[in-house]
Amino acid sequence: FKYAYLTQESSELLADEGVDIEGFLANDGGRALGNGAGTDFAVGNGSSKPNGLMNASGTGVTCASATVITPDEVIDLYHSVTSPYRINGAWIMNDATLKEVRQFKDSTNQYLWQPSLQQGNPDILLGSPVATDPNIETIATAKKVMAFGDMSKYFIREVQGIQVDRSVDFAFANDLVTFRFIYRADGDLMDTNAVKRMVMA
C-alpha cells in the first residue's frame, strides 16, 4: 500500500535559508508517513490498507463489562497465548487503558504493574514489557483495547524505503518548489496464535 506526503515551499525560502530546510522537510515528511502507516499497522482493517495487529489477532478475552477491565481478565489474556509465544510476549495498549491497568492489585494488595528501575528498560506487567500506541482503541463497548503476545510475528514489508522527489515544475506559476515523499509497505500477523487481543463487552 502506498502512503504519500506532499509539501510546497517558496523558492525564496529555499534560497535564503539560514537552516537546513530540506533536511527539516525530509524529517517532517518521514514522520507524516510513519504516523499514517503506523496507524494502519496498529488498527488497519486489511481493506485497502494493511491488516493491523489489533484486527489480525484473535480474541483471547471478552470482558464481562463494557467499561471496566478486571485484573483477572488481564491474567486470562496472558494465558490465552500459548506458552512458546508467552516467552517473548509483550503488551500493547493506549495510555488511557494503561492508566487503568497500572492501578490493578493482586489478592495480597501488590501492584501487578512493575515500573522499570533502570533507564532504557521497559515497564513490565506480569513479567512482560509494556508498549503504548495512541491508535489502539480506548475502553468502551465492543472496543479492542489491548493485545498480548509475541509481536515479532507481526511482519512489515517495506519496499525500497522512502522515495523523495523534488519538482520545480509542478507549481512553476506560483514559484513554489514541491517535495513529494512516498512510502510503500504492508503488514500482517503471520501466526494468529502468537498474539491475542482483549475486547470489551
- pLDDT (tens, 9 = 90+) of the chain, 201 residues, equals 999 999 999 988 888 867 788 788 888 888 999 999 999 999 999 999 999 999 999 999 999 999 999 999 999 999 999 999 999 999 999 999 999 999 888 778 878 777 766 676 778 888 899 999 999 999 999 999 999 999 999 999 999 888 889 899 999 999 999 999 999 999 999 999 999 999 999
pTM above 0.95, yes or no: no
Q: Do 129 and 157 form a contact (C-beta atoms < 8 A)?
A: no
From residue 95, alpha-carbon distances to 102, 130, 136, 193 in Å are 10, 11, 9, 25
- How many angstroms separate the Cα of 153 from the Cα of each of 85, 103, 188? 9, 30, 9
Dist. CA 51–CA 43, nearest whole Å: 7
Q: Please report, for residues 34, 103, 160, 171, the alpha-carbon distance to residue 125 in angstroms, rounded to integers and kept in the order given.
A: 27, 11, 37, 53
d(CA 199, CA 116): 27
What is the DSSP track for 143-198?
-EEEEEE-GGGEEEEEEEEEEEEEEEEEEGGGTEEEEEEEEEEEEEES-TTSEEEE
Which grid cell sits at 136?
Answer: 489502539
pLDDT of residue 82: 94
pLDDT at 117 (0 to 100):
63
* Residues, the chain: 201
